[in-house]
Structure 1
């Protein structure tokens, strides 16, 4: 895993990545955190989320995606269903779902430049050291980069 500091969305729009992945809940909200920014900047990604069954536990570990054209280049935004809900006490991220999401990203987008934030470690209250290990294992051999948010 490469690690850089910056704004994932800005870096993606500037051509640093072919695919960006962010964590979503299964409720089709995208109402907070980076998901809200994705929803606002890439309505196509929100439309892909809305095309999935709202509130379905079966979505955990799956993805929806939208490929957009911005500034003359194609960018794929992956909504990774890594948590069932955004409400409730304790850890909300599902670690197995993170693994399944990243396995699917590797299958569908091999040999692409993949960027992501600290999926599941912010609002979902997961342990980043655990999540980072999962991502590294599932994306082994791929060009993938953690973008630590820097305002």
Structure 2
């Protein structure tokens, strides 16, 4: 199930402690919402950089970070910060995230409009990919904030 929020802050949705965001696979979190993840979860960022450097995080992969109260899903949506996101990478990473969440009892995940800002994709196309993937996992509720406050 997907809940679209026209405006909001993914970190302040009542009852939601799990988050996802699209990221590059070059180890850079220097712009957009990625900066907030880097600042909020510095240990996650160190491990993310390591995984990118060793090739463990590639487009279509996920890196799941347990921060104690919940999880952060780092979705590999693009090769580097200089390249755009791709729909196949979003489709694979969203599918992996939903499968992981379903298998581990994670029922709510908040995320921004991945791939459509710095990733340079058309939001309607990304939305269609997410909606198709989410159909297979109706137990996992996605809270997508379409515009930050």
Q: TM over 0.5, yes or no? A: yes
Residue deviations 1:114-147, cap 9 Å, x none?
A: 1110000001111111101111111221311111
Q: Distance in 2 between matches of 1:113 and 1:24?
A: 20
Aligned 1:115-130 pairs, distance under 5 A: 115-130=110-125
Whether the aligned pair in 2 keeps the contact of 1:21 and 1:80 (CA below 8 Å) is yes
RMSD of the alignment, in Å?
Answer: 1.9
Measured after TM superposition, the shift of residue 18 of structure 1 is: 3.6
- Give the distance between the partners of 1:78 and 1:117, measured in 2 at CA: 12
What runs of 5+ residues in structure 2 fail to find an aligned partner?
none
Q: What's 1:107 paired with?
A: 99
Q: Distance in 2 between matches of 1:3 and 1:27?
A: 29
How far apart, in 2, do the equivalents of 1:55 and 1:85 lie? 14
Normalised to the residue count of structure 1, the TM-score between the two structures is 0.84
Alpha-carbon offset, residue 56 of structure 1: 4.1
Residue aligned with 1:65, SS: strand
Structure 1 distance, partners of 2:96, 2:3, is 20
The structure where strand makes up a greater share of residues is 1
SS in 2 for 1:29: coil
Which residues of structure 1 form unaligned runs of 5+?
none
Deviating more after overlay: 139-148 vs 122-131: 139-148
Q: Structure 1 residue runs of 4+, over 6 Å off?
A: none
For normalisation by structure 2, the TM-score amounts to 0.85
